Amino acid sequence: MKRYQLLVLLTIVLLSVTDPSDSFAAIKERYEYEQTGKVFWEADTDETKLALTFDDGPHPANTPELLDILKAYNVKATFFVVGKWVKAYPDIVQRMLDEGHEVANHTYSHIYDEAITKEDLMEEIDHANQVLEETVHIRPTYFRPVGGYYTDDIIDAAIDLKQDVLLWSWHQDPRDWAGTPTTEIVKHVVDHAQGGDVILLHDGGGDRQKTLRAVKLIIPVLKHQGYQFVTASELLKPSPIYLN
């Protein structure tokens, strides 16, 4: 009897491990996602072009200050905005567009959830798109998942809504979101810079003065080294969709 009970228990354990209804969605290798032509980490190019990207805004204090810095250096960037903050600060997003920056989708609520269902994520993406369409009359080309999480469901949610997924170069996350000192942010970005990079920084989610100071230093150094700063669409080539 004990041996029978042990076999039953082992069978249950094995079934639970291999159950296809497991809450963790399937994840492919990066290469497989890149082959779809819809998922990007960086550009494969010999050109000295880089994309500065900023997540989690717009922020009422950080973002206008950042826009001032970018304007002073004549640099264009890509902003992955959160829908609820777009709704709160539409004038800041309009300024981004007026000054030649690209605006992209970073969900409506900015929920950290690697196991989010495809249906819930589609609602988040679509809600953010609706806000952008209603306030600044654009539909973004790119979506960036919160936390950089990617699974089949997360990728498929964006693709089904006809948006490409843009993450960032794995060597270009200086962890400014974690309170990294300005000098370390600068050193990380500059030391790892190479053509085609998509650099991850943040203008929302808290006090970003260290990031802002870092941007003031990163831009002139990399410009002196011959790098050009462009939007994500300029780096990766697709054309953004502007609505009437």
Which sequence positions are flagged as catalytic? 55, 202
Provide the sign of the torsion angle of the four alpha carbons 12, 17, 21, 24, taken in this order: positive
Q: What angle do CA 236, 100, 227 make, to 5 degrees?
A: 55
The C-alpha atoms of residue 221 and residue 233 are separated, in whole angstroms, by: 23
The C-alpha atoms of residue 221 and residue 190 are separated, in whole angstroms, by: 8
What is the radius of gyration, based on Cα positions, of the chain?
20
DSSP code for 25: P
Scan for tokens 């230093």, then name that residue.
217
The C-alpha atoms of residue 121 and residue 110 are separated, in whole angstroms, by: 10
The C-alpha atoms of residue 148 and residue 202 are separated, in whole angstroms, by: 13
User: Two tokens at 153?
Assistant: 């469901």
The C-alpha atoms of residue 118 and residue 111 are separated, in whole angstroms, by: 13
**Residues 6 or more apart in contact with residue 213 via CB below 8 angstroms:** 182
Cis omega before residue 58 (within 30°)? Answer: yes
Q: Which amino acid is at 9?
A: L
